[in-house]
Amino acid sequence: MDRRQALQLVAGASAAATLPVREAITSPAHARTASVPAFTLPPLGYAFDALEPHIDAETMRVHYEQHHAAYVHELNAIAAANPSLARIPMARTLRAVDKLPESLREAVRHNMGGHWNHSFFWPLMAPGGSREPHGPLKAAIEETFGSVASLRERMGRAARERFGSGWVWLGVGAKGQLVVFSTPDQDTPHMVEDVRGAVLGIDLWEHAYYLKYNAGRDDYVSAWWRVLNWDRANETFGHLLT
C-alpha cells in the first residue's frame, strides 16, 4: 500500500465513521418522532435447527420469523391507533378481551393472543432441557393423572378433540389443581374461566408441524414431548402456586 492509498483508506474510514453522527445532528425531528414499537418479537433463545429431528429447522424458521412476527406486526399497528393497549399488561387485556370495543375485539384476540401464546411457547421447548418434571410439578402430575405418561395421553386426547386450529394446555385451575383444556385459534388461557394460568401449551396449528408431519398431528404432538423443557414448566408452575 502506498501513501496515497493509505490516505484514501483513512479518509474512507473516517467518512463512514462520522456518517451516523451527522445524520443524527441533521435529523433531530426524525429522531424524536421515530416510534419504538410497543410489542417486540422475543429472542428465540436457540437456533432454528436446535430441536431437530423432532421439530425441523424450516418449520421453526417460518413459525418464528413469519407467523409470530406477523402477530407482532399486526399488534403494533393496532397499538399505534390505540396506544392504551401498550400500557396495559397483556394478561389484563386478554382476560377482558370480550369487553373491548367490538371494532378491536377480534383483531386483539387474534394478534395479541398469537403474540402471547408464541412468547409462552418458545422457551417451553429447549435442546437439552430436563427430560422429566421434578419437585412439586412431578408430585401434582402424579397425584392428578397418575403419571407423566397418563398426562401425555390426556393431552393427546384433548388435542385430537380440538378440531381445526388451536392449542392444548396443562394449566392450574382456580383452586390450584392441574387441569387439561384446549383453546380455539389464538385464544389464550386467560380467556378460559377458572384457569389461573398455563404450565404447558402445545401449538396445534398446521403451521406448527405440517412441513414435517403433514396431516400427522398426533405424531407431532407425541414428538413434542421430546423437546419439552421441563425446567421451564417447573418454574412456571412454581409461580402459579404463589
Residues 184-223, interacting with Mn ion (CB under 5 A): 203, 205, 208
Cα separation, 170 vs 195, in Å, equals: 10
CB of 207 to Mn ion, least distance (A): 5
**H or E, element range at 203:** strand 195-203
CB of 68 to Mn ion, least distance (A): 7
* Alpha-carbon separation of residue 180 from 119, 127, 159 (angstroms): 20, 25, 10
CB of 200 to Mn ion, least distance (A): 15
Closer residue to Mn ion, CB minimum distance, 110 or 138: 110
Three-state secondary structure call for residue 10: helix
CB of 8 to Mn ion, least distance (A): 52
Nearest residue to Mn ion, scored by beta-carbon proximity: 203
Closer residue to Mn ion, CB minimum distance, 155 or 178: 155
Closer residue to Mn ion, CB minimum distance, 125 or 137: 125
Cell 383452586, residue located: 175
Length of the chain in terms of residues written: 242
Closer residue to Mn ion, CB minimum distance, 120 or 237: 120
**Residue of 120, 124, 122 whose CA lies nearest to 188:** 120
CB of 172 to Mn ion, least distance (A): 23
Cell of 202: 402445545
CB of 201 to Mn ion, least distance (A): 10
Closer residue to Mn ion, CB minimum distance, 23 or 219: 219
- State the number of binding residues for Mn ion (CB under 5 A): 3
Closer residue to Mn ion, CB minimum distance, 160 or 207: 207
CB of 64 to Mn ion, least distance (A): 9
Site map 151..190 versus Mn ion, x via CB under 5 A: ----------------------------------------
Closer residue to Mn ion, CB minimum distance, 72 or 178: 72
**H or E, element range at 184:** strand 178-184
- DSSP 8-state secondary structure symbol assigned to residue 191: G
Residues 46-85, interacting with Mn ion (CB under 5 A): none
DSSP 111-180: HHHHHHHHHHHGGGB-TT--SS--HHHHHHHHHHHSSHHHHHHHHHHHHHHS-SSEEEEEEEETTS-EEE
The backbone torsions φ and ψ at residue 166, rounded to the nearest 5 degrees and listed phi first, read 165, -160
| C-alpha radius of gyration, the chain, whole number | 23
Residues that bind Mn ion (CB under 5 A): 203, 205, 208
